[in-house]
Structure 1
Amino acid sequence: MTYRVAVAGAGLIGRAWAIVFARKGVPVCLYDVDGSTLRKAPEKIRASLEDLEAAGLITDPAAVMAHIRIEPELAKALDGVNYVQECGPENVEVKRRLYTDLEAAAAPNTVLASSTSGIVASQFIEHLSHPERCLVAHPVNPPYLIPLVEVVPAPVTNEASVALTMQIMEAVNQSPILVRQEVQGFILNRLQGALLNEALRLFRDGYVSAEDIDKTVKHGLGLRWSFMGPFETIDLNAPAGVVDYAARYGPLYRDVDIQRGNDNPWAEETLEALDRERRAALPVSELGERQAWRDRRLMALIAHRNTQQTS
């Protein structure tokens, strides 16, 4: 099947999505209601492509750019496309208005997918005439480096829209998962939130420094989790597999879970203390440089993984 894609929103995530599609040769039209944002997008995309080339992850930035068209008019951007990746703000009312505009401009069978990080689609599509072609396709930032995409249909979403979204994601080398029913925050952010909540409690209660929590994940959990998930990890960590592991360590984890309680680990004083430690380690003025370092490390990791046989 031939895919034609539009990306609605030319900010950080929208530009990254344009790279995802274009590097696999999929024609992509990039739109944004903000003319200034749209005009700046090509230069920023080219800079990202040059970084990818330097890391050995693409060979011809110009060829990728050739598949990206900038379009300031929504109707023209959506003309002839069979999939739209919406990348608007994380605000329900803004998304409701945006989806009203997308529905008016798109063909009736065009899939409208949102990049939202945690808002379920049913909150912003129920007023539409054709909500059955709408869903969430939540990426991890930046999606051209981290391939997971959470595909989250609403109760009214039809199977054809889900199937097309999964097909497109696989065709452009993403790794889609199907979230079988709507849940706030989806899967990745709920898992990440559980770890963050516990990390904040341990930091708040004085058990460990922020730096040592990061080291625990970086030099411990993260090494295994970079190539296998938590269930495979525990399955391999006991002689007879997951049930054996649960018999050995389940009571410990259950006791720890009971101890956590229902207090809010995101209290202002906890975050202020955490910020003091983080700013001592990394001033605000150096955040951008460190973000670029993170992306280069990710590129090196992906380049290494591309040389290995993984499943």
Structure 2
Amino acid sequence: MTKIAVIGSGLIGRAWAITFARGGYEVALYDREDGAPAAARQYIASVLPSLAEFDLLGGDQPDDVLGRIAIAASLAEALDGATHVQENTPENLEIKRGVFSELERLAGPDTILASSTSAILPSAFSEHLKTRERCLVAHPINPPYLVPAVEIVPSPWTSAEASQRTATLMRDAGQSPIVMKNEIDGFVMNRMQGALLDEAFRLVSDGYASPEDVDIGIREGLALRWSFMGPFETIDLNAPQGVRDYVQRYKGIYQTIGPSQQRRVDWTGPVLDTIEADRRARLPADQLGDRQAWRDRRLMALAAHKRQSDHDTNS
């Protein structure tokens, strides 16, 4: 059985452990903080029955998946025999540079060293390494066991083999890799999300719409299509002759809108008071945890629906 080392057992690390174990891999979970891996494994045990309820364990039982997750007593033990390392330490460049130095020293020469970082370019934490060609970013949307997209981000010196091996691993684990050609700040998903958030903040700040109306526009509008297709397929299907026809018909609309979208709003300015007041009126702070649990169950239901729908459509 292929072994995956998950380094760091916090929010992202424990989610990756579920993802890889569900995919049939042996997972070694390690954290420098005493007791953290045991707490993570206990959390995982509490989540697996819900995933089984929605048939999201690939036909396995919760105990089968949990049985593939072992706690490693040391970093060396976690890395011993691992073909892939998924690092999940804090978003701090110096910490990651130090961790990757240790990973390079202890991991086998053919082991891929991947970081879950959402903001740090792979070149920044790998430039000092002797075997930096095997280092890259594999950034998920949390939790990856419910949201399959994962960004494979190479540095200028990451080998094509390392990127392809990682993409293959992710596909085999049930994920949907975005194999980037070059590194860029924000990668793909945060750049697209950032563009949408910038416009959302502008619309509220300039008094054109309330926070809830913006949320309705996504929740009850665009997201219904975006839950099963991306922006390019959307416009390809929104004109009789496809994407070129769409551009010829509607490019003028977006050219008119464009200049007004160049000004950034200070997210920490007065608009934040408006948005926070609206959100807390709709969801008191002491109910955030319950709503997060609700969100995860909705994601489970959506994942189950999409899988069944894909099966029914393709059968």
Count of matched residue positions in the alignment of Structure 1 and Structure 2:
310
| Structure 1: gaps (5+ residues) | none
Q: Is the 8 A contact 2:152 2:166 kept in 1?
A: yes
Give the equivalent residue in structure 1 for 2:16: 17
- Displacement of 1:275 in angstroms is 0.8
Name the aligned partner's letter for residue 297 of structure 1: R
Give the equivalent residue in structure 2 for 1:244: 245
Q: Is the 8 A contact 2:202 2:264 kept in 1?
A: no
Describe the SS at the equivalent of 1:35: coil
What is the alpha-carbon distance in structure 2 between the residues aligned to residue 66 and residue 123 of structure 1?
Answer: 36
What is the alpha-carbon distance in structure 1 between the residues aligned to residue 131 and residue 80 of structure 2?
Answer: 17
Q: Is the 8 A contact 1:111 1:134 kept in 2?
A: yes
- Displacement of 1:71 in angstroms is 1.0
Q: Does 1:75 align with 2:76?
A: yes
Q: Is the 8 A contact 1:38 1:72 kept in 2?
A: no
Describe the SS at the equivalent of 2:35: helix
**What whole-Å deviation, never above 9, does each CA across 1:22-78 have from its counterpart, x for those lacking one?**
112210100011113222111101011122122232341000011100113001110
Give the equivalent residue in structure 2 for 1:130: 131
- Displacement of 1:118 in angstroms is 2.1
- Displacement of 1:103 in angstroms is 1.3
| Structure 2: gaps (5+ residues) | none
Give the equivalent residue in structure 2 for 1:182: 183
Q: Does 1:266 align with 2:272?
A: no
What is the alpha-carbon distance in structure 2 between the residues aligned to residue 240 and residue 24 of structure 1?
Answer: 40
Give the equivalent residue in structure 2 for 1:233: 234
- Displacement of 1:278 in angstroms is 0.6
Q: Does 1:216 align with 2:231?
A: no
Describe the SS at the equivalent of 1:264: coil
**What whole-Å deviation, never above 9, does each CA across 1:172-222 have from its counterpart, x for those lacking one?**
111111110011010011001100000000011111111111111011000
Q: Does 1:29 align with 2:28?
A: yes
Describe the SS at the equivalent of 2:309: coil
Q: Is the 8 A contact 1:55 1:296 kept in 2?
A: no
What is the alpha-carbon distance in structure 2 between the residues aligned to residue 29 and residue 272 of structure 1?
Answer: 44
**What whole-Å deviation, never above 9, does each CA across 1:111-152 have from its counterpart, x for those lacking one?**
100101121100111111211110001111100001011101
What is the alpha-carbon distance in structure 1 between the residues aligned to residue 288 and residue 245 of structure 2?
Answer: 44
What is the alpha-carbon distance in structure 1 between the residues aligned to residue 38 and residue 286 of structure 2?
Answer: 26
- Displacement of 1:284 in angstroms is 1.2
Give the equivalent residue in structure 1 for 2:53: 54
Give the equivalent residue in structure 2 for 1:195: 196
- Displacement of 1:277 in angstroms is 0.9
Q: Does 1:116 align with 2:98?
A: no
Q: Is the 8 A contact 1:202 1:208 kept in 2?
A: yes
Describe the SS at the equivalent of 2:178: strand
What is the alpha-carbon distance in structure 2 between the residues aligned to residue 299 and residue 155 of structure 1?
Answer: 37
What is the alpha-carbon distance in structure 2 between the residues aligned to residue 267 and residue 17 of structure 1?
Answer: 32
What is the alpha-carbon distance in structure 2 between the residues aligned to residue 32 and residue 229 of structure 1?
Answer: 37
- Displacement of 1:94 in angstroms is 1.3
What is the alpha-carbon distance in structure 2 between the residues aligned to residue 188 and residue 261 of structure 1?
Answer: 20
What is the alpha-carbon distance in structure 1 between the residues aligned to residue 154 and residue 171 of structure 2?
Answer: 17
Give the equivalent residue in structure 1 for 2:301: 300
Q: Which region of structure 1 is more displaced relative to structure 2, 19-28 or 218-227?
A: 19-28
Name the aligned partner's letter for residue 37 of structure 1: A
Name the aligned partner's letter for residue 124 of structure 2: Q
- Displacement of 1:264 in angstroms is 3.3
Identity %: 51
Give the equivalent residue in structure 1 for 2:108: 107
Q: Which region of structure 1 is more displaced relative to structure 2, 27-36 or 266-275?
A: 266-275
What is the alpha-carbon distance in structure 2 between the residues aligned to residue 291 and residue 97 of structure 1?
Answer: 33
Q: Is the 8 A contact 1:5 1:82 kept in 2?
A: yes
Describe the SS at the equivalent of 1:308: helix
The root-mean-square deviation of aligned C-alpha atoms, in Å, is 1.3
What is the alpha-carbon distance in structure 2 between the residues aligned to residue 234 and residue 263 of structure 1?
Answer: 26
